[in-house]
Structure formats: structure tokens, C-alpha cells
């Protein structure tokens, strides 16, 4: 039996993480507005914190000392995650699933641009053109000025901006800090945020079906995070990153099966532009790395 290569393993992990993230979003959207948003977030975060704490203790990572610099970066990243969750779930509950997923596909490009601006990472004119073309694709998706463009479209765009900032903070965290510690800090920050908002929102009775969906979402989030960590530890990043776009396919499929939603022609057209420019950037980066290795 042939052994799976590290690149193939990494690609499978990436597809798995996108599938679990999308299924988590589907479960939370299914709960939708039948429960107040902060109540849903609080319950999911509470379950996630309990499960993640068990994992961290089981792995013995709670004994690890975290440097003060990394504590500040984790706090900053967690703050950005809280803000992104607010924007994301407001958009998720009030716009088509595939449309929101399509907007988020611009993230690899915005992170590349932010890395050049804030981390002094090199970026050539071809990458810059690809990023600008990608933004044009996003305009086709959100359709400013059209009837479908509303405040929730802006929330989707705001999610991209805040998640980009979150990822920049994440890149500065020392590599020896356990990933589950960072994830637990995020879950605790969301739990605190949602808990503080609860007194200002009515508490609705939770049915077994709603509790089951939120519990499922909490489990899926942990699985998604596990697969995303495994992705970065298997294969070359330039090879596995393009498989992130599988999330858009999962979103379109689940959006149709669960909610009966189908993206319109302009959303599909914009998505193709965004994905194509992202793939161009990643493939060009891989080609340059191979050329540099050959020269050396």
C-alpha cells in the first residue's frame, strides 16, 4: 500500500478543516434568530471552553509558562477574534451562506497585503495587481448599490478586515506556544464577551434541538481547529493553502441542502475572480521558491 505524501496529507487536512468550519457555521445558522445571538454564542463558547480545557489538561499544556510578550499578543488576537465573531455572526444570520463564504475567500489576499505593510514581507507588483483584481471580485459579490447590498454585506467585509488583523497578531506569537492554548484563550474571550452582553438581551428557553445544534457546532469548531493545526504541520504551505478554497464549495453545497440557497450569477462570477487571483498568488510564490532553491 503506497504511503501518502506529506503534501497530500496536508491537503486532506486543509479540506477537512474547511469542511468542519463550514459545518459549524451551518449548525449555528440553523439555530439562527430563533435564539438571541449572544445567547447562542455564550452556550457554544461555554461548551467549547469546557472541552478545550479538558484537552489542554490532558496534553499537559496547562503547565507551560507563556512569555509576557506572547500573553499580550494572545490577548490582542483574542480581542480581534471577539470582534470578528460579532461581525461574522450578524452577517451569517442575515445573508445567504454562500455569499458570506465567497466574501471571506479574499482573506489569503488581504493577509498577504497586511503582511507586506505591517511585517515588511516582500510583495511584488504582480501580487499587488492580483490583490486589486481580487477586490474587484469582492465588489461583484457584495454588489454595492444593488438591492442585495445592505449593512450585513458591510459586516461581511468588516469580518475580513478584523480577521486579517487577527492573523497578523497570530504570526507574531512564538511558535513554541501550544496552539490549543491560543484557541482556549479565544474561546474564553468569546465566552466573556457574550456573558457580558447577556444581561442586555432576553434569555429564551432552549429546546433540545437548539442545544444539540449548538453543542454540535462547539464540537465541530474543535475538530476544525485540530485539522487546521495539523495542516500547518504537514506539507508545504504553498501546496496546501489553495485547498482553503474548498470551503466555498462546501458553503454552496450546504447552503443549498440545508437552507435552499443558491448564489446568483454575479456572486459566482466574483467568486471565480477571487479564487483565481488567490491561486495565481500562491502558485507564483511556489514557483519563486523553487527557483530560489535551484539557484542556491
Contacts of 55 (CB under 8 A, 6+ apart): 180, 222
Q: Length of the chain, please?
A: 296
Place of cell 493577509: 111
CB atoms within 10 A of CB 246: 17
CA distance 276 to 129: 12
Q: Are residues 252 and 243 in contact, defined by beta-carbon separation less than 8 angstroms?
A: no
Q: Name the pLDDT band for 295 (thresholds 50, 70, 90).
A: low
Q: Range with the lowest mean pLDDT among 2-16, 62-76, 161-175, 260-274?
A: 2-16
Place of cell 503506497: 2
CA atoms within 13 A on the CB side of 55: 18
Domain ranges of the chain: 6-295
CA distance 198 to 126: 48
Q: What mean pLDDT value characterizes the chain?
A: 81
Q: Are residues 246 and 14 in contact, defined by beta-carbon separation less than 8 angstroms?
A: yes
Q: Are residues 102 and 263 in contact, defined by beta-carbon separation less than 8 angstroms?
A: yes
Query: How high is the pLDDT of residue 237?
Result: 58
Q: 9: burial class by Cβ within 10 Å (0-12, 13-18, 19+)? A: middle
Report the candidate in 291, 277, 287, 289 with the shortest Cα–Cα distance to residue 113: 277
Percentage of the chain lying above the pLDDT 90 cut: 26
CB atoms within 10 A of CB 110: 20
Query: How high is the pLDDT of residue 292?
Result: 62
Angle CA 284–285–291, to nearest 5: 90
Query: How high is the pLDDT of residue 1?
Result: 43
Q: List the grid coordinates of 258.
A: 440545508
For residue 68, what are the CA distances in angstroms to 61, 73, 74, 93, 174? 17, 9, 10, 37, 11
Q: If you average pLDDT over residues 154-182, what whole number do you get?
A: 85
Helix (H), strand (E) at residue 65: none
For residue 112, what are the CA distances in angstroms to 7, 24, 121, 285? 22, 26, 8, 11
CB atoms within 10 A of CB 260: 7
Q: If you average pLDDT over residues 12-35, what whole number do you get?
A: 88
Looking at the predicted structure, is the pLDDT value of residue 221 above 70?
Answer: yes
pTM over 0.75: yes
Amino acid at each position: 500500500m503506497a504511503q501518502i505524501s506529506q503534501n497530500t496529507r496536508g491537503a486532506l487536512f486543509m479540506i477537512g478543516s474547511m469542511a468542519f468550519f463550514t459545518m459549524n457555521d451551518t449548525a449555528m445558522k440553523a439555530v439562527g434568530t430563533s435564539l438571541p445571538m449572544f445567547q447562542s454564542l455564550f452556550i457554544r463558547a461555554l461548551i467549547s471552553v469546557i472541552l478545550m480545557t479538558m484537552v489542554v489538561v490532558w496534553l499537559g499544556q496547562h503547565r507551560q509558562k507563556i512569555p509576557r510578550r506572547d500573553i499580550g499578543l494572545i490577548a490582542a488576537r483574542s480581542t480581534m477574534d471577539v470582534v470578528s465573531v460579532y461581525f461574522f455572526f450578524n452577517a451569517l444570520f442575515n445573508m445567504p451562506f454562500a455569499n458570506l463564504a465567497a466574501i471571506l475567500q479574499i482573506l489569503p489576499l488581504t493577509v498577504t497585503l497586511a503582511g507586506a505593510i505591517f511585517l515588511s514581507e516582500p510583495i511584488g507588483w504582480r501580487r499587488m495587481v492580483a490583490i486589486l483584481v481580487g477586490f474587484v471580485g469582492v465588489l461583484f459579490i457584495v454588489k454595492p448599490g444593488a438591492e442585495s447590498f445592505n449593512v450585513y454585506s458591510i459586516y461581511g467585509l468588516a469580518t475580513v478586515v478584523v480577521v486579517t488583523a487577527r492573523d497578523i497578531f497570530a504570526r507574531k506569537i512564538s511558535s513554541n506556544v501550544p496552539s490549543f492554548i491560543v484557541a482556549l484563550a479565544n474561546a474564553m474571550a468569546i465566552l466573556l464577551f457574550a456573558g457580558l452582553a447577556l444581561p442586555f438581551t432576553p434569555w429564551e428557553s432552549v429546546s433540545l434541538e437548539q442545544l444539540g445544534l449548538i453543542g454540535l457546532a462547539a464540537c465541530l469548531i474543535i475538530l476544525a481547529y485540530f485539522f487546521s493545526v495539523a495542516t500547518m504541520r504537514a506539507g508545504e504551505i504553498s501546496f496546501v493553502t489553495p485547498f482553503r478554497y474548498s470551503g466555498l464549495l462546501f458553503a454552496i453545497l450546504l447552503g443549498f441542502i440545508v437552507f435552499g440557497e443558491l448564489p446568483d450569477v454575479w456572486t459566482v462570477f466574483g467568486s471565480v475572480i477571487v479564487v483565481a487571483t488567490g491561486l495565481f498568488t500562491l502558485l507564483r510564490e511556489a514557483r519563486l521558491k523553487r527557483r530560489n532553491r535551484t539557484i542556491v
